[in-house]
């Protein structure tokens, strides 16, 4: 049996055992069953048939077949053998309960596991350390931390497995504080943490962003003789990355003797999230064997750092390499599509990956589709996706309200908000930004004021700078400039650029030169090189025919070396983006483009004048 490596060889051994009579001996028969049930080259169905032929299988054999079905991820069969064992009165041992509880971890409901726990208590096996560790693991995996902690606290003796299981349970459920508190208690005792313990604690540090505790773990690793496997290195690297300490992360990375795709992807993620896209791309290109997660990290980095064109370009490269994107990739790509108003690609992603390939669709992905359609101006398509959702969260409601607001449909935004409240969803600060934006675009002054006033009084949401900016925009658009200025002066925080910018735009619309000058002065004090403010102020003076002030503004721009940023437009043609700048003649077809623009402008003027001339 020691040299057996295939079922063919096993059948030969079984035949020989049958001829010699060894097949009736418990130990060799147990070895035969164990190979069939547990070896990678084994055959579980053959093990099942072999088990059924054994007249009186002992406890070890029952445990083996239960364990075999666990290994094959068929928990229902594993549990049925346990029940059969119970009915026949076969004696249990601690491993019987451990293997059976392991099977119960995979059931959608918990009664089976609880019944095994109850039976272990009645038979006295719950006093065994092995069984208690299994029960702690069962409850922790299911997220029933109170039950797990109850078993844990009752244990008079705890080993490293006990502590690690409980700490890992807390870390997996984002209870980082409790996980680290428990780790502190472990260090006070006489149980030494192992590699798995430290991985769990580092995971808790990553979730909480506790760099101090993470560095303490690092020091323990350096001082104590703990085995440094690849998983532990990766956990340490991930902790430094998620805590934003890329210098230490790079040091850990450089010291690693072996690295896998997770190691490389962690560095890509870290540099991308801090905005260093060049370093992120360098690590991405150097990754030996990229997987979907690695591609997704770089695509997300571009999308989240206002580089949507690079994000989409890399997405096309990913598809060209034959990778099938997952949910995280598609969410980032859809965000990039929304930033560029790239409707055709966003629509194709929706129809191909969701409707044709039918990848698993989560609420997060559906929210991203809604956001993409709304930002591309296809609010009806966004509404259709929203209406068809079987499950919605607050982000879903916020996305469709923001979509209606951005597309000038104030009435629908308010109707959806009312429906959201009726269904029991509590709005957050993002909801009110969208709602106030809708009121601003719809000129709904009284409703906007009401929403702004009830934010804190009714929902406990203190208005932020963004909410004040929305209110100033609403008041300014509708001509209440003095009231808007008064609101700026009475803000409990320093006004942001958006607030002064909204007031400046309103001053241009309603020809208020005095407030325009004041607004521009405040904007330029925070950003003296913002060419848009100078241009807008000059235009306001020009509209009032105050040419001396116009010259003064332009002279100020020259003295400060401020250059007007040329206007530009971006259009999508067959999946490629074409950018056009004002007075740009670099395009090879610029003459033809300008000729067509002149024709369009002429046609527009003729239509405005009511001419029916045939061009």
Nearest to 246 by CA among 227, 220, 273, 221: 273
| Rounded Cα gap, residues 99 and 340, in angstroms | 54
3-state secondary structure 293-347: HHHHHHHHHHHHCCCHHHHHHHHHHHHHCCCCCCHHHHHHHHHHHHHHCCHHHHH
pLDDT for the residue 574: 59
The pLDDT tens digits for 70-128 are 999 999 999 999 999 999 999 999 999 999 999 999 887 778 889 999 999 999 999 99
The pLDDT tens digits for 377-435 are 999 999 999 999 999 999 999 999 999 999 999 999 999 999 999 999 999 999 999 99
Identify the residue whose tokens are 């049925």. 80
Q: List Cβ neighbours of 205 (8 Å cut-off, separation of 6 or more).
A: 176, 180, 211, 213, 214, 217, 239, 243
Q: List Cβ neighbours of 42 (8 Å cut-off, separation of 6 or more).
A: 7, 10, 35, 36, 68
pTM for this model (two decimals) = 0.79
Question: In the 8-state DSSP scheme, what is residue 289?
Answer: S
pLDDT at 306 over 80: yes
pLDDT for the residue 615: 43
pLDDT for the residue 239: 95
Mean pLDDT of 597-609: 71
The pLDDT tens digits for 444-474 are 999 999 999 999 999 999 999 999 999 999 9
The pLDDT tens digits for 265-285 are 999 999 999 999 999 999 999
C-beta of residue 78 within 8 angstroms of C-beta of residue 97:
no
Question: In the 8-state DSSP scheme, what is residue 370?
Answer: H
Mean pLDDT of 28-44: 92
pLDDT for the residue 33: 93
pLDDT for the residue 187: 86
Whole-number average pLDDT of the chain: 89
The pLDDT tens digits for 519-568 are 888 877 777 777 777 677 777 777 767 777 667 767 776 755 656 665 55
C-beta of residue 565 within 8 angstroms of C-beta of residue 531:
yes
Q: What phi and psi, each to the nearest 5 degrees, are found at residue 353?
A: -80, -30
Mean pLDDT of 155-174: 93
Mean pLDDT of 585-605: 76
Consecutive H or E run containing 57: none
pLDDT for the residue 147: 94
pLDDT for the residue 124: 93
Identify the residue whose tokens are 């029940």. 83
Environment class of residue 116 by beta-carbon count within 10 Å: exposed (0-12), middle (13-18) or buried (19+)? buried
Q: List Cβ neighbours of 370 (8 Å cut-off, separation of 6 or more).
A: 382, 385, 386, 396, 399, 400, 403
Nearest to 198 by CA among 248, 174, 252, 234: 234
Nearest to 473 by CA among 432, 445, 515, 511: 445
pLDDT at 246 over 50: yes
36: left (phi over 0), alpha (psi -120 to 50) or beta: alpha
pLDDT at 230 over 90: yes
Top mean pLDDT of 135-139, 217-221, 584-588 is at 135-139
Confidence grade of residue 572 (pLDDT, cut at 50, 70, 90): low
Q: Which domains does the chain have, with CATH numbers?
A: 274-388 (1.25.40.10), 392-463 (no CATH), 568-608 (no CATH)
Query: In the structure encoding, which two tokens stand for residue 55, read together?
Result: 């007249």
Confidence grade of residue 140 (pLDDT, cut at 50, 70, 90): very high
């Amino acid at each position: 049996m020691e040299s057996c490596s295939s079922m063919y060889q096993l059948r030969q051994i079984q035949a020989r055992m049958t001829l010699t009579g060894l097949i009736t001996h418990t130990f060799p028969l147990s070895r035969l069953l164990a190979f069939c049930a547990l070896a990678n080259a084994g055959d579980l169905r053959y093990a099942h048939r072999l088990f059924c032929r054994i007249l009186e299988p002992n406890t070890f054999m029952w445990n083996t077949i239960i364990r075999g079905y666990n290994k094959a991820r068929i928990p229902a069969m594993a549990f049925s053998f346990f029940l059969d064992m119970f009915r026949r009165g076969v004696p249990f041992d601690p491993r019987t309960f451990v293997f059976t509880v392991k099977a119960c971890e995979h059931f959608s409901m918990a009664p089976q596991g609880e019944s095994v726990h109850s039976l272990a208590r009645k038979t006295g096996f719950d006093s065994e350390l092995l069984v208690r560790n299994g029960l702690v693991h069962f409850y922790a995996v299911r997220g029933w931390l109170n039950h797990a902690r109850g078993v844990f606290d009752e244990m008079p003796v705890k080993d490293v497995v006990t502590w690690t299981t409980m700490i890992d349970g807390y870390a997996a459920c984002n209870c980082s504080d409790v996980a680290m508190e428990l780790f502190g208690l472990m260090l006070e005792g006489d149980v030494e943490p192992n590699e798995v313990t430290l991985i769990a604690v580092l995971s808790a540090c990553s979730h909480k962003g506790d760099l101090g505790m993470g560095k303490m773990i690092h020091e323990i690793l350096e001082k104590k003789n703990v085995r440094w496997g690849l998983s532990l290195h990766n956990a340490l690297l991930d902790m430094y990355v998620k805590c934003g300490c890329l210098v230490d992360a790079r040091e850990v990375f450089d010291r690693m003797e072996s690295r896998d795709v997770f190691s490389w992807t962690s560095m890509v993620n870290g540099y991308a999230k801090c905005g260093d896209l060049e370093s992120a791309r360098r690590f991405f290109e150097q990754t030996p064997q990229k997987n979907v997660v690695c591609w997704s990290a770089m695509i997300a980095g571009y999308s989240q750092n206002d580089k949507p064109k690079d994000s989409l370009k890399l997405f096309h490269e990913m598809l060209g390499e034959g990778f099938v994107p997952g949910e995280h990739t598609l969410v980032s790509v859809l965000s990039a599509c929304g930033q560029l108003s790239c409707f055709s690609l966003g629509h194709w992603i929706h129809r191909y990956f969701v409707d044709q390939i039918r990848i698993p669709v989560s609420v997060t992905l559906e929210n991203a589709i809604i956001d993409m359609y709304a930002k591309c101006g296809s609010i009806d398509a966004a509404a259709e996706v929203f209406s068809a959702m079987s499950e919605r969260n607050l982000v879903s409601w916020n996305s469709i309200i923001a979509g209606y607001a951005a597309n000038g449909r104030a009435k629908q935004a308010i109707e959806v908000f009312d429906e959201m409240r009726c269904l029991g969803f509590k709005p957050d600060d993002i909801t009110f930004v969208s709602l106030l934006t809708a009121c601003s675009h719809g000129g709904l002054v009284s409703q906007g004021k009401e929403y702004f006033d009830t934010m804190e009084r009714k929902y406990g949401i203190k208005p932020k700078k963004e909410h004040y900016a929305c209110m100033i925009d609403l008041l300014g658009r509708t001509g209440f400039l003095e009231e808007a200025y008064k609101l700026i002066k009475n803000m409990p925080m320093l006004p942001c650029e958006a607030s002064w910018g909204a007031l400046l735009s309103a001053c241009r619309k309603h020809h208020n030169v005095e407030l325009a000058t004041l607004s521009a002065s405040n904007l330029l004090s925070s950003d003296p090189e913002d060419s848009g403010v100078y241009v807008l102020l000059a235009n306001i003076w020009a509209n009032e025919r105050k040419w001396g002030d116009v010259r003064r503004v332009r002279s100020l721009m020259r003295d400060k070396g401020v250059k007007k940023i040329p206007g530009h437009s971006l259009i999508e043609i067959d999946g490629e983006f074409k950018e056009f700048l004002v007075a740009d003649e670099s395009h090879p077809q610029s003459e033809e483009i300008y000729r067509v623009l002149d024709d369009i402008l002429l046609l527009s003027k003729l239509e405005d004048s009511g001419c029916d001339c045939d061009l």
